[in-house]
Amino acid sequence: MRVRSRRQRGALSLLLIVIIVPLLLVFTTGLAIARRLNDEAGLVRAVHQQLVASLAGYDPDLYQQFGVFGVPVASLETSVFQKTVPVRYAAVPAELSVAAALLDPDVLEQQIARTMKLRLPILWLDQAELGKSLSPEFFNPGQGIRASIFPADALPKDLLSQMPEGLASYLEDLIQQSLESVTEEDKLEILDQALDWLGDLSGQSSILAALPDSSDWLSGLSGWLDDLSSGPKAPLTQKAGLAEYCLAYLTTAVTVRLEDGTREPLHTVRGLDLQELAQTRPAEIERIITGTREPDAARRQVKTDLIATRSLIHLAAIVADSGAMTVLRSKAAALAAVLAATTGILLEPDGIAYLLALSQAILRGHDDVDDLLRGQDIRLIPPSLLDQPLRVTYADHLRLMLLVLPTDTLLERIGHCIQQTFPQDYAAAIRLEVKPSAGSGLNRSGITLDLAYARE
């Protein structure tokens, strides 16, 4: 009996050894694999945290002045990665580098497009509102009220009458505030609040139940706002976005506005005083238009071009005015007679009349440009050519000049202006690459992550 019991206990021990040892090996291997996978996940998290921390170190002054994000290349370092990486991979080399330079034309265009995504429609609303205030009868003949800013097919005509009273008043106040806010930043904030408000409203069933036609109008309104903020894609609109970016962020020779005899300082969309900013960043838009780096030369060239343009417009107006040409022809006939009597030189009176018209047009063009440079608006077309009093400013003339420039040239010169104020290298996208050594235990060829500003 005793021998049999011992044999049974020995068999049980052998059985346990056969079963438990492999299970322990399996569990140990699984635990090691789990630890390694956890460490690798921690490695990826450390890489991402390093990239996020690096992007958070953007230059706020660059964004304040030019509306674009950029990380100084000189400040790129891997201290966050080194502090957060798992101990297993503490010795793994990591390289933080530039994935895309800020002043690369494609990258800069993408950033400007993102910057102007919501700003561009609001700037255009401002232009329309300014035009109405300057010439209400031109934009709304026979009407004393503002035209709706909504497209005709976007919302029902009786939308406001169908809305709940509080909702209708909210939208009316929103539109009124968006058109009368002092700065563009305030208007952008109002539009952002409207988008957030619409998102909150979509979850309130009690309000939705009270809306007409199962809130079809709300979906139309939110769709219109989404289209408004989705960013333009047409080449002409993209060019317009670049032109409006220049007018919104860069400096010009005119830093004040003259209205009713009062000089008001102009500001950028970020609220910076243009007159103060122009001390360190003079005539940037003029330099972009002319392609020269010298501010004074750029101002003179733009002024000359404006005088020539305005003179041609006035010359066409004088020639089209029969009464003015009759007076000039009579003066020309008298001058021709005097020249013939005193010098014996015979000249055609018509030729002299056109010379007098040209000299008069140049004087008027010079006066127009002087008014523009003082910050005053002028009539775009003289009354003899167009009876409607459409008025324009110096910025409007610069806008037309910017639209003529090729897109590549415009982006290159914008980059030059940014680089002249911020000469150090900036990155708009950065890359962190982890290269494992032979003994690191990393079971992959390496980890590479990119992170960027303004990437769709």
Phi and psi torsions of 194, nearest 5°: -65, -40
**Cβ burial 213-230 (10 Å sphere, 16+ → b, else e):** eebebbebbbeebeebee
182 — pLDDT class (breaks 50, 70, 90): very low
- Residues 175, 149 contacting (CB under 8 angstroms): yes
Question: Mean of the pLDDT values across residues 104-108?
Answer: 91
Percent of the chain with pLDDT over 70: 66
Q: Beta-strand (E) ranges in 355-437?
A: 378-379, 391-392, 426-434
Domain ranges of the chain: 2-104+430-451
Supply 377's token pair.
């608006």
Confidence at residue 9, expressed as pLDDT on a 0 to 100 scale: 55
| Distance separating alpha carbons of residues 365 and 310, to the nearest angstrom | 5
- CB-CB contact of 58 with 75 (8 Å): no
pLDDT mean over 201-211: 44
Lowest mean pLDDT among 183-192, 256-265, 413-422: 183-192
Cα torsion for 264, 398, 240, 383, to the nearest 10°? 90
Quick one: which of 394, 274, 276, 397 has its CA closest to 266? 274
pLDDT tens for residues 212-224?
444 454 455 445 4
Confidence band for 267, pLDDT divided at 50, 70 and 90? confident
What proportion of the chain, given as a percentage, has pLDDT over 90?
20
Which pLDDT value is given to residue 358? 87
Digit-coded pLDDT (tens) for 329-376 = 888 788 777 777 777 666 677 777 888 888 888 999 999 999 999 999
pLDDT for residue 418:
94
Among 18-32, 233-247, 408-422, name the most confident range: 408-422
- How far apart, in whole angstroms, are the C-alpha atoms of residue 407 and residue 163? 45
pLDDT in tens, 365-412: 999 999 999 999 888 888 877 777 788 899 999 999 998 899 899 999
Q: What is the pLDDT of residue 141?
A: 40
Reported as a single tens digit per residue, the pLDDT across 89-102 is: 788 888 888 988 99
Worst-scoring range by mean pLDDT, 62-66, 134-138, 319-323, 375-379? 134-138
pLDDT at 387: 73
Concatenated DSSP letters of 142-173:
T--SPPPSS-TTTS-TTHHHHS-HHHHHHHHH
Exposure class string for 325-359: b at 16+ Cβ within 10 A, else e: beebbeebeebbeeeeeeeeeeeebeebbbebbbe
The confidence band for 171, taking pLDDT boundaries of 50, 70 and 90, is: low
pLDDT tens readout for residues 432-450: 888 766 555 565 556 777 7
> What's the mean pLDDT when you consider all of the chain?
74
Number of Cβ within 10 Å of residue 142's Cβ equals: 5
